[in-house]
Structure formats: structure tokens, C-alpha cells
Amino acid sequence: MDYATMFDLTGRTALVVGGAGGIGRAASAGLAAHGADVVVADLDVAAAQEVAADLTGQGRSATAYELNVLDPQSISRAVDELDPVDVLVLTAAVNVRKRMLDYTSEDFDKVIALNLKSSFEMIRAFGRGMAERGRGSIIAFTSIRSVTVEPGQSAYAATKAALLQVVRTAAAELGPQGVRVNTVAPGVVETPLTQPILDNQEWADAYAAKSALGRWSKPEELAGAVVYLASDAASYVTGTQIFVDGGWTAVDGRYDPPA
């Protein structure tokens, strides 16, 4: 291995789903900075175009693409128009934060559809071509909620735990064809999705104090894990979950003992 170029993604096409969002935007920037031709895919195509324009203005290779991952025809069209894709990054997610007794069937279906079913369908759709070509990297975003929960997170946590198992199964099934499938599990990240928590100072401070680093993360702090998993530096890494959580899942932060 050429250690000087093991993170080089030149010549590879990376499709970032949810690329106009906070984490998706950072992932797109990180991949583009290491030479990938990035497709910024999002339902909000205008926002995707802004991200792509910003990257191309920096001399990177990026294009915008309108994609509705809840629409099977949109996914099929994306395969026809974008494949071959070498790196698939799945960041799109939603959270309906309610106690279980207050949840509706519509709330549940909404979370399951975007967080789990759409990722399953995207892995199937683009994993097929990767398997036929004998290489590829699929990176899905789970969460610390895949392994630890709190009140109000039932459906969201269930989708993230289930997505981890989908990824592990895909890794087992596609590994013999040279396709790697992994997840990145963030802790608390400053994004539009978490803005309601950030607006509540007590709540935001409590979350910051839970991690070993004592703070929230920025979206760009997730980009390194994405670049790593996309690159040859992770050529023997598959079926795993990389926590980028500031030590959240390692530390019992509810009480700071005197000794």
C-alpha cells in the first residue's frame, strides 16, 4: 500500500444522500477534498445546488441531484442516471421525539420509512452494481441511539439499531464481491435536526456534559470517519460501527463521583 495516497479518492464517484443537510454537507466536502467526484443528492435540490456550487467554487468536483428516497421510481432513476457509484453515503433521517404512549401510527411510519426502509432500498439499489463491479463502499449513518436510549426516542432508536443490523447483513452478503458496508454513529451534533434541543440551554448543556469531551460536535467532525471508510485506508473494514460521539457511549456521565 502507498501510505501517502491511501486516503486519495481521485477517480471515484461518491453519492451523498441528504447531501444538503448538516452532516451530508460536511461529508460531501470531506469526500470532495480528497478527490472524489461528489453527487450531492437531496429532496431539496436548490439546497443541494448551493452545496455543489460552493464545492466547485473551491475547485472541487461536485454536482447536485434531486432524489426522493421515499419514491422507488426516484431511486430507480438515480441508479440509471448515476451508476457507477463507488461510494454511497446515507445521511437522511428524521426524528419524531414523543413518548411511546403519545406516538401515532403515522409518526411511527414516517420515522421507519425514511430512517430504515429508504436506506434498505438504497443499499439494494446501488449495492447490486458495486457487487457486479467487484468494489465499493457503503456508509450509513446510525447514532448513539443504536445502542443507548432515552425517553422519547423509541422509533428513532429502533430504526438506528435496525439499520446497524441491515448494514451488518449487507456486509456479510456483499463482502465476497468486494463491497464494504459500515456505519458511522454520531453523538450529539449541531444540525437543524437538533436545533430545538440547542435552543433549550439546560437541555443542551446536559447533553454536552454527558460526553467525555464535554461539548457538542460540529458536522465537519464527522467527515473524517466518512473519508476513512470510503478510502483504501479502510480496505479491511466492513460490518462495523464507528462511534464519533465524543466518548458518550464510553462514559457514565450522570454523576461525577468525588473520587
Alpha helices in the chain (DSSP H): 22-33, 45-57, 72-82, 105-112, 118-133, 154-174, 195-198, 201-210, 223-230
Catalytic position from the list 65, 119, 156, 210: 156
- Residue bearing cell 423509541: 154
- Whether 156 sits among the annotated catalytic residues: the reply is yes
- Nearest residue to 164 (alpha-carbon basis) of 247, 221, 220, 242: 242
- Whether 110 sits among the annotated catalytic residues: the reply is no
What 3-state DSSP class applies to 144?
helix
Catalytic position from the list 65, 137, 146, 160: 160
Spatial neighbors of 144 by CB under 8 A, at least 6 apart, are: 185, 186, 187, 243, 245, 248, 249
Helix axes 118-133, 72-82, angle to 10 degrees: 30
Cis, peptide link before residue 84, omega less than 30° from 0: yes
Strand partners, 37: 13
- Whether 160 sits among the annotated catalytic residues: the reply is yes
Catalytic position from the list 28, 143, 146, 231: 143
Active-site residue list:
143, 156, 160
